[in-house]
């Protein structure tokens, strides 16, 4: 009886192939094959997501730390500083303590915040209400838009003549010296269209040499009107405004001078000298309880 041909064993263990391989009539070759294991898909996805997240985080950090982004965020912040609310809400929005806080003889307190692109002043009444908010820009590129009377007033863009048009100023003040210059116009009483919020607009470089007041100071010097004097350059004069408005040259100059400073009041609140102290006067410590006027 012919003997059975014995076949070599072939087996698979642990995903590996073990067995002989014949090449034609040649000798037998034993093969042990281990299949390649592809890189796990999950690992690849996780790695891609990690890299993407890292790039996004880095890009966002660059973007949010850029001057343009921070300036735009600050411009938006100013729209939240609404007089008539509790002062504490304005302080919360600003996120810091004031750099200067002065008790005034009237019983009000004047808080001044030195920001990167502007100085913010808030007059707090005895009840804790913010009676006014003032913004003095330090950089001509800083252009926040504040809605007054249903219209945008954009600092460093809107002109003095068009800021509260068609109304004319009820009073004005000016100061032009060797180291600073300024001109403010007061509008009051304002109608319901403005929420009865009274407004002061103008130009001041009292906290920044980057704000150019040469044009307005030249116009004031050329006008046939004497600038009324006050100890802290913070008192509006109806007679002075009337004199300036009678000057054709000054009316023309107003059409080309952009607003860099704005003060607006709580509904129905009167514009008072407490609200108009030049920022450098406050920062310099000239005001103290019992002496500020």
Stretch among 25-34, 208-217, 236-245 having the lowest mean pLDDT: 25-34
Rounded to whole angstroms, the Cα distance separating 277 from 293 reads 9
Q: Where is average pLDDT lowest: 53-57, 86-90, 178-182, 237-241?
A: 53-57
How far is 278 from 180, CA to CA, in rounded Å? 10
Better-predicted residue by pLDDT, 164 or 12:
164
Model confidence pLDDT, tens digit, residues 159-185: 999 999 999 999 999 999 888 999 999
The tokens of 180 are what? 């600073």
13 has a pLDDT exceeding 70 = no
pLDDT of 47 reads 72
Q: How confident is the model at residue 288 (pLDDT cuts 50, 70, 90)?
A: confident
Over 50: is that where the pLDDT of 289 sits?
A: no
Asked if residues 123 and 113 have their Cβ atoms less than 8 Å apart, the reply is no
Supply the pLDDT for residue 88: 97
* Whether pTM exceeds 0.95: no
Which of 152-163 are b and which e, b meaning 16 or more Cβ less than 10 Å from the residue's Cβ? ebebbebebbeb
The Cα–Cα gap between 146 and 130 comes to 17
Band of pLDDT at residue 6, cut at 50, 70 and 90: low
What pLDDT is stored for residue 123 in this prediction?
Answer: 98
What pLDDT does 116 receive?
96
Q: What percent of the chain has pLDDT over 90?
A: 71
Question: What pLDDT shows up at residue 291?
Answer: 47
CB of 135 closer than 8 Å to CB of 148: no
């Amino acid at each position: 009886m012919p003997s059975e041909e014995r076949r070599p064993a072939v087996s698979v263990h642990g995903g590996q192939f073990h067995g002989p391989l014949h090449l034609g009539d040649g000798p037998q070759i034993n093969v042990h094959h281990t299949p390649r294991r592809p890189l796990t898909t999950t690992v690849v996805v996780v790695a891609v997501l990690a890299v993407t997240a890292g790039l996004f985080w880095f890009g966002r950090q660059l973007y949010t730390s850029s001057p343009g982004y921070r300036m735009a965020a600050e411009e938006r912040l100013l729209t939240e500083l609404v007089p008539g609310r509790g002062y504490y809400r304005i302080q919360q929005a600003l996120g810091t303590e004031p750099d200067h806080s002065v008790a005034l003889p009237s019983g009000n307190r004047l808080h001044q915040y030195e920001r990167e692109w502007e100085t913010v002043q808030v007059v707090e009444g005895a009840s804790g209400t913010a009676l006014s908010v003032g913004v003095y820009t330090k950089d001509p590129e800083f252009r926040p838009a504040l809605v007054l009377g249903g219209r945008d007033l954009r600092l460093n863009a809107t002109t003095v003549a068009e800021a509260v048009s068609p109304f004319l100023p009820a009073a004005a003040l000016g100061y032009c010296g060797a180291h600073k210059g300024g001109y403010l116009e007061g509008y009051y009483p304002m109608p319901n269209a403005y929420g009865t919020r009274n407004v002061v607009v103008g130009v001041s470089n009292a906290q920044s040499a980057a704000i150019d007041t040469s044009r307005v100071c030249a116009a004031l010097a050329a006008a046939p009107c004497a600038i009324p004097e006050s100890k802290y350059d913070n008192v509006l004069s109806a007679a002075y405004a009337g004199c300036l408005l009678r000057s054709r040259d000054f009316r023309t100059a107003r059409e080309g001078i952009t607003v860099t400073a704005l003060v607006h009041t709580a509904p129905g609140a009167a514009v008072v000298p407490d609200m108009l102290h030049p920022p450098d006067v406050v920062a310099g410590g000239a005001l103290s309880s019992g002496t500020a006027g």
